[in-house]
Amino acid sequence: MSLSVMLHQLISGMGITVEIFCVTLICSLPLGLLVCFGRMSKNVIIRSIVSAYISIMRGTPLMLQLMVVYFGPYFIFGIRISRGYSLIAVFIAFTINYAAYFAEIYRGGIESMSVGQYEAAQILGYSKVQTFFRIILPQVIKRILPSVTNEVITLVKDTSLAFVVAVAEMFTIAKQIASSQTTMMPFVIAAVFYYIFNLIVAIVMERVEKKLDYYR
């Protein structure tokens, strides 16, 4: 197999990898904030349920969660799995997994804010919603960016787990080519891709962090 043919096959897998990354990030960041609200709820039942969800998501392997989401509909409810469901299962499993991690990051950022800011906002006539979204959240985002960056970089590498449910992302294709052609070149190309992808993520997040560095 020529290098050009190999690259052509790997590029198709790269597209799936980027798609998994983008969908997971777009869905898990806002969902994580909602989960955070549930985790910090004054309602004991809601707080207990959300705490259990976070504990399970963080305490079990993502690979296992992928298999549960993929095979669960058939084994539990007897629903036949279509071929297109594998990618949807990846989106669901990745989103609910990363939402749990982001929720705890959000919670840490919110709880680090001083009570005085809430009191000052109340004196100025801000409602609780206005206080959170106009005063607290912008500062929280600045504080949690390093932690979010670490999770985003981990997400880039975790996309390779999609092979568990037969999604042909880049690592899966690289493994197939390496096995059939008995060459390490696909793995080298995959390693370069992951490194560049993570480098881009790190550079973008660093620039965002500098733009939000309004304390200096």
Across 36-55, average pLDDT: 95
Tokens of 54: 């976070």
How many residues belong to the chain?
A: 216
What is the reported pLDDT for 129?
83
What is the reported pLDDT for 38?
95
* Selected residue with higher pLDDT from 136 and 30: 30
Across 29-57, average pLDDT: 95
The 10s digit of each residue's pLDDT in 96-145 is 999 999 999 999 998 888 888 888 888 888 888 888 888 888 888 888 99
* Listed residue (62, 54, 19, 22) closest to 36, CA to CA: 54
Q: Is 39 exposed, middle or buried (0-12, 13-18, 19+ CB in 10 A)?
A: buried
Checking if the pLDDT of 184 tops 80, the result is: yes
Across 24-42, average pLDDT: 95
What is the reported pLDDT for 214?
58
pTM of the model: 0.88
Q: Give the Cα separation of 115 and 131 in Å (integer).
A: 12
Checking if the pLDDT of 162 tops 80, the result is: yes
181 pLDDT tier (thresholds 50, 70, 90): confident
Helices (H), 40-184: 44-59, 62-77, 85-111, 115-123, 128-130, 137-158, 170-181
215 pLDDT tier (thresholds 50, 70, 90): low
The amino acid sitting at 172 is T
Checking if the pLDDT of 81 tops 90, the result is: no
* Listed residue (103, 105, 121) closest to 33, CA to CA: 103
